[in-house]
Structure 1
Amino acid sequence: MPRDSVQKDTAKPRTRTPLLRKPEATDGAAIWELIKSCKPLDENSMYCNLVQADHFADTCVVAELDGEIVGWVSGHMIPNENELFVWQVAVGSQARGLGLGKKMLMALIAREECAGATHLKTTITADNDASWGLFKSFAKAVGGALTDEPHFTRDDHFDGHHATEHMVTITLPETVALKAVA
């Protein structure tokens, strides 16, 4: 009679701590797929996400969990301003509940490339509760004031095809970089 055998699981243990890093051009397709899965985010072309990952890597963040891209923040420093503009924040369903959106924003503002930023800006539609929650939580965490006002309006900018985007401005205290790495 054969002996019972116990097989050891040789697979790598799954981690719940995402790796945050700068994107690479080869991440473009995975970023595009992630954004497509995160409704109601506006979908860009795959080429757009590839260019963001390649040309704006210093002001973008990807989050990897078990080798899969599960988070994305795209942003850029506004030309001739000391302001960081965050275009999109995407968190895949498999990484929700980890506070990943805020962690990616904190990692971004802690970067040397963003050290001169006195404000973080983003646009949010009035009905996007998840984004409002994220950016209010982020502002509280860094001790910054949050203001908003209509910026890109439905009729003037979107020809009636998209809801008004409110410009959200968060003041970044000088000590924010220290808090972000703590």
Structure 2
Amino acid sequence: MIHGSASVRPHGSIVTPDGAIEWERATMTAVEISLVRNRLNRAIEATRERSVRRREQVAAAERAYDDFLSTVATPVTKLVANSLKVENFAFSVFTPGRGLRLASDHRRDDYIEFALDTESDPPQVMGRTSRTRGSRTLTDDRPVKQGSPVEAITEEDVLAFLISALEPWFER
């Protein structure tokens, strides 16, 4: 900009102290606000739809898990506990609220339990193994059958998981 001459500047622009012309940020934002709001509203709606689907998926998995516990996991775990007693391994079966635990009769921190992990997508049945080694307690969490929906886990899957999880006790 030359001093003393008529200054023509574009609409929505400002002249900086050094004489340069810059576009006003407020004008640019006003032009883009409709785009921002549109994308924001789409993101909110998509998130709400995913949330509804996720809640439905978790509710269905919880119903399937209840059936799994009563018809698949508990009977197999009781058979394993009885067989372990015959082999001189004292384990008992407990069914704490919506769970199932095969626990050592000798150490309270030695157990294998089943639980539904609703944080994973899709929800899956997890097995937690906890055992003591001296003063340390070792825990291991893993799916009973990786990537399998709750309703697809069979008695054979539960038996395979239990036998695998019991191996550290067989070493003693």
TM-score scaled by length of structure 2: 0.27
The structure whose residues are more often helix, as a share, is 2
Q: Work out which of the two has the higher radius of gyration on C-alpha atoms and give 1 or 2.
A: 2
Report which structure shows greater RCO (CA 8 Å, sep ≥6).
Answer: 1
Give me the TM-score of the superposition, normalised by structure 1: 0.26
